[in-house]
A and B are shown apart, each in its own frame.
Chain A
Amino acid sequence: MSDQLVIPIGDTTKVVRRNNELFFECTRCSNSYGSTKIGDPKKNALMRERSIGDVNPWNKYGKIDQFVVREYYCPKCGIMIAANMQNKDEPIMMDMDLSNL
């Protein structure tokens, strides 16, 4: 039985139904991020942290030692599924909780 699209999450991630269970899946390489019960696919993604100064030349006038951009990638194909700007001392921020779909 093939996977059935339930909802998109933008254009790089989607929720699919497989054997009556819901999973987060990469739209490009079909990598499974696991059950939607985890809430946010980024919990099973890769993350790289970069200073805000590394992603935009105007940011050199900002607090480049304090703020970072956290980029989240599909572990299989490397596509970026989220990019959050945060104070580097704060824990990782989730984008969503879809555990009750």
Chain B
Amino acid sequence: MRTTKKTATIDPITFEVLKNRLWAINDEQANIALRTAGTLVVYEARDMNAAITDRDGRGMYLACYNNTMAATVQAGVKSILANFSKNFIKEGDMFLFNDPWEGAVHYNDFTMVAPVYFQGDLVAWTGVSMHEVDVGGQVPGSMYLLAKTAYEEPVIITTVKIVEGWEVQQDILRLVCRTSRVPQLLQLDVMARMSAIVTANKAIQGLVEKYGKETFLAFTDQLIEHIRESITDRLRKIPDGIWYEGDYVDHDGMSETVYPVKLAVTKKGDKLTFDFTGTSPQAPGFINCTLHGVHGQISVVLLAMLGYGLPYSVGALAHLYDVIIPESNLVNASFPAPVALGALGASWQVRQMVNTCIGKMMACSAELKDYALADYTSTWNGVIIAGLDNAYKEFTYVVMEPGGGGSGARTYKDGIDTGGPIDMPGQGIPDVESTEYNYPVLMLWRRESKDAFGPGQFRGGAGLEYALVPYKVGFAMLITVTAGQYQPGAMGICGGMPANCQFNGVLKNTKIWERIKAGEIPTDLGKLGGEMDIRPPKAMAPFAADEVLFAVRCGGGGYNDPLLRNPELVEKDVMEGLCSLEIARDIFGVIINPTTQKLDVTATKKMREEIIHTRIVEGKPVSEILANEKK
């Protein structure tokens, strides 16, 4: 594949100039795509990203939005290089795909990539990936709960050339957009990708022209090597060992089955091995993911936790880790297994466990302990509301509030409240006014939720809760596509505790519209009243105009024993509505006066002593439990 010989080393100043200039081009590339996109999911929630790879498809940069998505750009480019002849790939071409077996994490993530040429030579690739609201298939939002094979899922767009010689291929564009319930929005997003790629490609060509092709190619090799060496140096500060984690994906769309996911991370010298042995075989429903999802998730966690301060280069990780996964597995699905929920199902669970294992591993290094992170918020608490508004116009509303999950605790500070998932540092939540302008819903409230975090000396960031009601709707369906509902979804590390279960509930008999018409807008669950029907993690049911959707998102996992938390911080959390008096007392051992909301220092000391006493009296020796298990 390589067209020139190995290039020479360039001087440090030129290296730094090129590194930061290309980083800025990547940032601009992402922002062009954001500002020209057609959907709220992209231009406000920023469920997208942009990437630059070298000429061989080795990832060099990811912008700061959805990193899992962009990490798969590398896989897409490598697939193009492997499957198409050299003569088929030319300057001015752009390729599009959503094939989970060619690089996409799931069908909704359309990725476009393009080669960058300079004077006839391939010098780099650029790519943009975005989550599309709807890409066809049997249900709005394109995640069909009852699919048993990929053939019942949205159309698979295996890699197609959508732009040739800078000319949009009108037939391909029409075909792609025809698959969607919202073709105009999809077309806007496709064109936004093109704008971003044209901008980035021209900027890269300008850079190559200024510094010379040989210098630029030398730089790309040197950048990847520099990042690989930097991460390797950090790995060397960690002792050799094995770290374990286990988690679950609850509900496969058709049954309440809970699927275990297991991970053992072995660190030996400069190398990591991610062994998923023990993970469930492929599920009959749409929660499976392909190997690209696994590599994407491993990459984003490694780059976030061990690649801090460096460009996010997926290519630099190539020789740093191996993966062991059986075929036809929940996290290595074989075609034609259903995978429509891969990104929010098994793939996301992989990230949770990689996050926790790497967090535990880094906590064993004196030099890197302060960079360890507990698990971030569990999988997307997905909700899609679709139907006809009262003008009989079709709508598909993908609720983006789940972007407000809590970040994992740090070893010296709490996680960030509603800080979002670890792979989406630049993600946003749409403005409520934008949501209400674009979709037939009325948001009753949206706030950081009480007790939605993993306790610890440093707690996980708080997750978000919201309540909304259909507004001027003719007919609506509520589709839930979530996990982490039957069991807590974000784990703590080193004595920190897991965060909360997340869920979606529908409140009936609240007389909401009578109350709104009378001038009352309920702003919390207590004031709302009614009876709550907890929706299954995956379900589709009518959503009546007088019903209210109430959802709580998972917070981040905690770090260290909650009894070591500064009681004044617990008092502050109680006063800010983030922690209940009961959790303050039972988990943190902190007594807050219910009337004054002030800390009772003496009662707290006594309570903590009592909890320690209970632990020692009620705790059973693990050695005895293990001996009994052997019997």
List residues of chain A with CB under 8 Å of any chain B CB. 5, 7-13, 42-48, 52, 55-59, 61-63, 66-67, 69, 71-73, 75, 77-87, 90-98, 100-101
Contacts and interface: CB of A to CB of B under 8 A. Distances in A.
B621 A46 contact: yes
B620 interface: yes
A1 B87 CA distance: 72
Nearest to A101: B239
Contact of A78 (B582, B583, B587, B616): B616
B534 A55 contact: no
Contacts of B622: 42-47, 72, 92
Contacts of A67: 486-488
30 contacts: A7-B364, A8-B364, A8-B365, A8-B366, A10-B363, A10-B559, A11-B411, A11-B560, A43-B623, A43-B626, A47-B619, A47-B622, A55-B497, A57-B583, A58-B452, A58-B501, A58-B503, A61-B534, A69-B488, A75-B619, A79-B563, A83-B498, A84-B491, A85-B488, A87-B258, A93-B246, A96-B243, A97-B243, A97-B244, A100-B241
Contacts of B505: 61
Contacts of B503: 58, 61-62
A61 B34 CA distance: 37
Contacts of A9: 363-364, 494
B414 interface: no
B485 interface: yes
Interface residues of B, number: 68
Contacts of A48: 615, 618-620
Chain A contact residues, majority secondary structure: mixed
Interface of B: 239-246, 248, 250, 258, 260, 360, 363-366, 369, 411, 449, 451-452, 455, 457, 485-488, 491-503, 505, 534, 552, 559-564, 580, 582-583, 587, 611-613, 615-616, 618-623, 625-626, 629
Given A46-B615, A55-B587, A57-B451, A96 B498 contact: no
B617 to A, nearest CB: 9
B501 A10 contact: no
Contacts of A85: 487-488, 491, 498
Given A56-B451, A85-B488, A46 B616 contact: yes
Given A85-B491, A92-B629, A59 B621 contact: no
Contact of A63 (B369, B486, B580): B486
B466 to A, nearest CB: 14
Contacts of A59: 488, 500-501
B495 A83 contact: yes
Given A52-B488, A56-B501, A69-B488, 20 more contacts: A8-B365, A10-B559, A10-B560, A46-B619, A48-B619, A55-B498, A58-B451, A61-B485, A66-B258, A71-B615, A78-B612, A78-B613, A79-B561, A84-B491, A90-B260, A91-B629, A95-B244, A96-B243, A96-B244, A100-B240
Contact of A10 (B494, B583, B611, B613): B494
Contacts of A95: 243-244, 360
Contacts of B244: 93-97
A59 B554 CA distance: 10
Contacts of A10: 363, 369, 411, 493-495, 559-560
Contact of B241 (A56, A92, A93, A96): A96
Nearest to A94: B244
Nearest to B485: A62
A93 B608 CA distance: 27
The 7 closest A-B pairs by CB, nearest first: A10-B494, A46-B619, A62-B501, A78-B612, A58-B500, A80-B561, A97-B242
A43 B360 CA distance: 17
B494 to A, nearest CB: 3
Contact of A62 (B243, B487, B559, B625): B487
> Which has the most chain B C-beta neighbours within 10 Å: A8, A61, A87?
A61
Contacts of A83: 492, 495-498
Contacts of A5: 366
